[in-house]
A and B are shown apart, each in its own frame.
Chain A
């Protein structure tokens, strides 16, 4: 396997424009002859399906939810970045590009990031035209805010529901195409395998989640917009249904998986309440604009927060990072919280929590101002914890939130299997080792609305596609394998529930491949995961049949993939002997406890190639070259 990034030659600034001109076009009359299968209906998949439909392609779009409007993009709260420079505060495409590369700790591809920053501008125009109700100033212009410690105000938002509004915009465009007959929407349909024929991605195998029917779909290209794999940790801020199956199945069919160890831990989530916890809820990062993070100075201090005098509190972010303080980037804030708790100074049940205190802000600005800014978040917090954050400090703890790793793609967003395109969180391309706040929505929509619709034409144009159908040997084999797997899951009839396995795997990963990793821990995990996997296949209990709505079976299939994927993650983490962004190896840190990157040896994308069951995957490296942004140590002190 060769990793050809296909970055066009020439200057960064007009690279994308020129590339768009150089790419092949598909004539209007021929577009409807090309069928494109799009898996996932979030910001990336939904936007792509709508746009390709508008262009005239024959699109099939699949989602596991009962409606495309429910994809997990909907849960993003904070906002979407764009280099509009409306506030005239010095922003530019170049600055957004620079910030994103630096924020990603120099593990992203410059050309992709630059294009992302360029396209960000069009996204806002597009969304406004669709009727997305962004926040406005009294003059009727769009409001902007600074987000996640950015030094410019480039974040557009719709209250605390930006993801929802952007997704509903894409969804409405998608439904318009469904009505027009250009897109066939297949909800409650889960992709279980990729069909590769003559080296090209030509189809998928799905399971109808209501009837259980295993079906095949064929097209000239397959697009995966299936999101991230954060749920491998069991507890994450992802929706319960988010899974790695589509991308992992593609990996097993030959698509390289890049940087799987790059996961983002979000610092401000509501802590775990007990063993029953099924998911974690994020509290918007904007809270850190006014809240102060602290823990007691003394270990095992069980006094109520109000009884701890000022002198006995450790405002550790302000102490360690005086210039960024409570607004330090996500990875840094998360790790600092973990250190405080590891040190025995955590608060709340189980000691896994730190305070986010608004007392000072309330004193300074008044309760009304705080209510105006964060009212809905405070309500949500109280609904979940039964504590009033106006009176008692919030308790927060980091949680898995986003995965920067994903299927490897070239500049055209095509994976290592020709005809397989990967967009949004599902690919690895733009965020390096750490994603900045309000950049996920930007990337999803950039890929879906603007990049993929241009690049897919280049692939489809001038290529001949032989007709394929379910009778093809590869298709038959894929279907047989899917059916066999379903049958095997049902046949185990063991004693443990799927969730109990998932929980155990999650704990193991969180322990050894979470916020901080080290070689010993990763080796332990690499030894333990295959054992747990074997136990899963020996002892899992899935009731019911495959020919009905069977939620245990759906979960079992996903967990089975996590059981394999977790190993890939740990392997990647073990191989990367440096600390960068969300990947913190405790062996590689400065004396002050900061991440120590090793640009000399690790300035590359680690893309893993599947080599068969029981055989270690092959590591392929795409070297990263920084011509425009000077490699530097991130410092937020």
Chain B
């Protein structure tokens, strides 16, 4: 099939960007979206034009590197699918496809479709862990975890950190990402000792990074390639609220490791 792409091109973070049209010809329905971009890039290089930069790595929907806004939808039209797993059979011959980077104040564009998602790492640094050092952990069977809790925790832990929730949210909020980690550890016995600290620390860092707030639109969960549910956000809200009420003055401003 033949398509028209309108791709955001921006040579660097400081430079101005714009949408540029490209013809994508002879595209097979069996190609993934990124393979289609590969083909376009090969053509561009042969013509002496610089290829479109985009983040990608595993191309099997798990590393979370890829992710672009496709026709106004984060990761494109197919539910539960990262950009690398989206195939061109989701499009029709003659379609025009608008391709844009994730947009958020916290995710500055580095080049073309590549953005800086390091705020997500910093949110993790503010409490997305269990503080145990390597070695001499108790026997794995010493900690009983109800199957249901393990399954719920896994539902949340599946987050691939791609940032689609931020991209799709009208407020560019990182609530779903943050909530997924707060939930994952908050649901397990291992996460209990630091549960308050974690919720306070991670939410505070999320705010500091300049993400928006949650207005319960639900766009995030729809865009999420792993279908992380809004229930996680509710859980984080509750954890944050109870933690804030319980917190004693000396433990103000949680986060960070010892």
Note whether A and B contact each other (Cβ less than 8 A): yes
Residues on A lying within 8 angstroms of B by beta carbon are 47, 50-51, 54, 65-72, 74-75, 84, 86, 122, 124-131, 133-142, 158-159, 161, 164-165, 168, 171-173, 175-180, 185, 187, 210, 237, 239-241, 273-274, 276-279, 281-282, 380, 383-386, 449-450, 453, 495, 497, 499-500, 541, 543-544, 548-549, 551-552
Neighbour of B190 across the interface among A86, A130, A549, CB < 8 A: A130
Residues of B within 8 A of A75 (CB): 58, 60, 62-63
Residues of B within 8 A of A158 (CB): 154, 157
**A133 and B153 within 8 A (CB):** yes
**A173 and B157 within 8 A (CB):** no
Residues of B within 8 A of A168 (CB): 157
Q: Which residue on A lies nearest to B51, using beta carbons?
A: A552
**A453 and B121 within 8 A (CB):** no
**A277 and B257 within 8 A (CB):** no
Tell which of A54, A140, A385 has the most Cβ of chain B within 10 Å.
A140
Residues on B lying within 8 angstroms of A by beta carbon are 11-12, 28-32, 34-36, 38-39, 42, 45-46, 48-51, 53, 55-65, 78, 81, 85, 87, 89, 110-111, 114, 116-118, 120-121, 124-126, 128-135, 137-141, 143-147, 150-151, 153-154, 157-158, 160-161, 184-185, 188, 190-191, 255-258
**B30 and A131 within 8 A (CB):** no
**B130 and A543 within 8 A (CB):** no
Residues of A within 8 A of B126 (CB): 179
Give Cα A552–Cα B157 distance, bound, in whole angstroms: 34
Residues of A within 8 A of B64 (CB): 67, 69-70
Give Cα A137–Cα B131 distance, bound, in whole angstroms: 26
A543-B110 CB under 8 A given contacts A51-B134, A131-B191, A133-B153: no
A125-B81 CB under 8 A given contacts A279-B59, A543-B48: no
Residues of B within 8 A of A86 (CB): 141
**A173 and B141 within 8 A (CB):** no
Excluding A172-B130, A276-B30, 16 further A-B contacts by CB distance (< 8 Å) are: A66-B55, A67-B161, A74-B62, A126-B137, A134-B140, A140-B145, A164-B160, A172-B124, A176-B125, A176-B257, A179-B126, A210-B111, A240-B58, A384-B87, A497-B46, A543-B45
Give Cα A139–Cα B145 distance, bound, in whole angstroms: 8
**A135 and B137 within 8 A (CB):** no
Neighbour of B184 across the interface among A133, A135, A177, A277, CB < 8 A: A133
Neighbour of B256 across the interface among A141, A171, A180, A239, CB < 8 A: A180
**A274 and B87 within 8 A (CB):** no
Give Cα A178–Cα B46 distance, bound, in whole angstroms: 43
- Tell me, rounded to whole Å, the shortest Cβ–Cβ distance linking A370 to chain B: 20
A499-B38 CB under 8 A given contacts A141-B144, A187-B118, A276-B28: yes
A–B complex contacts, Cβ < 8 Å, 8 sampled? A50-B134, A130-B190, A131-B191, A175-B121, A273-B31, A278-B38, A386-B29, A548-B12
Give Cα A282–Cα B29 distance, bound, in whole angstroms: 20
Q: Which residue on A lies nearest to B36, using beta carbons?
A: A276
**B65 and A449 within 8 A (CB):** no
**A131 and B184 within 8 A (CB):** yes
**A180 and B59 within 8 A (CB):** no
Neighbour of B143 across the interface among A71, A129, A177, CB < 8 A: A129
Q: Which residue on A lies nearest to B115, using beta carbons?
A: A66
Give Cα A421–Cα B35 distance, bound, in whole angstroms: 36
Give Cα A347–Cα B26 distance, bound, in whole angstroms: 25
Residues of A within 8 A of B46 (CB): 495, 497, 541
Q: Which residue on A lies nearest to B86, using beta carbons?
A: A383
Give Cα A190–Cα B4 distance, bound, in whole angstroms: 34
**A276 and B124 within 8 A (CB):** no
**A66 and B38 within 8 A (CB):** no
- Tell me, rounded to whole Å, the shortest Cβ–Cβ distance linking B122 to chain A: 8
- Tell me, rounded to whole Å, the shortest Cβ–Cβ distance linking A554 to chain B: 10
- Tell me, rounded to whole Å, the shortest Cβ–Cβ distance linking B164 to chain A: 15
Neighbour of A128 across the interface among B48, B128, B140, CB < 8 A: B140
Give Cα A72–Cα B117 distance, bound, in whole angstroms: 18
**B120 and A67 within 8 A (CB):** yes
Residues of A within 8 A of B49 (CB): 543
Residues of A within 8 A of B65 (CB): 65-66, 70
Give Cα A176–Cα B126 distance, bound, in whole angstroms: 8
A69-B121 CB under 8 A given contacts A175-B128, A276-B28, A384-B87: yes
**A129 and B138 within 8 A (CB):** yes
Residues of B within 8 A of A276 (CB): 28, 30-31, 35-36, 38-39
**A126 and B111 within 8 A (CB):** no
Residues of B within 8 A of A54 (CB): 133-134
Give Cα A279–Cα B63 distance, bound, in whole angstroms: 14
Give Cα A361–Cα B141 distance, bound, in whole angstroms: 33
- Tell me, rounded to whole Å, the shortest Cβ–Cβ distance linking B95 to chain A: 18
**B117 and A128 within 8 A (CB):** no
Q: Which residue on A lies nearest to B181, using beta carbons?
A: A172
Give Cα A323–Cα B62 distance, bound, in whole angstroms: 35
- Tell me, rounded to whole Å, the shortest Cβ–Cβ distance linking B195 to chain A: 11
Residues of B within 8 A of A124 (CB): 140
A129-B145 CB under 8 A given contacts A158-B154, A383-B87: no
Neighbour of B58 across the interface among A74, A135, A548, A549, CB < 8 A: A74
- Tell me, rounded to whole Å, the shortest Cβ–Cβ distance linking A552 to chain B: 6
- Tell me, rounded to whole Å, the shortest Cβ–Cβ distance linking B141 to chain A: 6
**B45 and A552 within 8 A (CB):** yes
- Tell me, rounded to whole Å, the shortest Cβ–Cβ distance linking B64 to chain A: 6
- Tell me, rounded to whole Å, the shortest Cβ–Cβ distance linking A492 to chain B: 13
Give Cα A179–Cα B255 distance, bound, in whole angstroms: 8
**A386 and B144 within 8 A (CB):** no
Tell which of B36, B55, B133, B138 has the most Cβ of chain A within 10 Å.
B133
Residues of A within 8 A of B133 (CB): 51, 54
**A130 and B58 within 8 A (CB):** no
**B140 and A380 within 8 A (CB):** no
A178-B125 CB under 8 A given contacts A66-B118, A552-B45: yes
**A125 and B138 within 8 A (CB):** yes
| Those 6 A-B pairs whose CB atoms lie nearest each other, nearest first | A140-B144, A129-B137, A180-B257, A172-B129, A179-B125, A128-B140
Give Cα A348–Cα B190 distance, bound, in whole angstroms: 48
**B114 and A549 within 8 A (CB):** yes
**A548 and B132 within 8 A (CB):** no
Residues of B within 8 A of A51 (CB): 133-135
- Tell me, rounded to whole Å, the shortest Cβ–Cβ distance linking B151 to chain A: 8
Give Cα A12–Cα B36 distance, bound, in whole angstroms: 54
- Tell me, rounded to whole Å, the shortest Cβ–Cβ distance linking B125 to chain A: 4
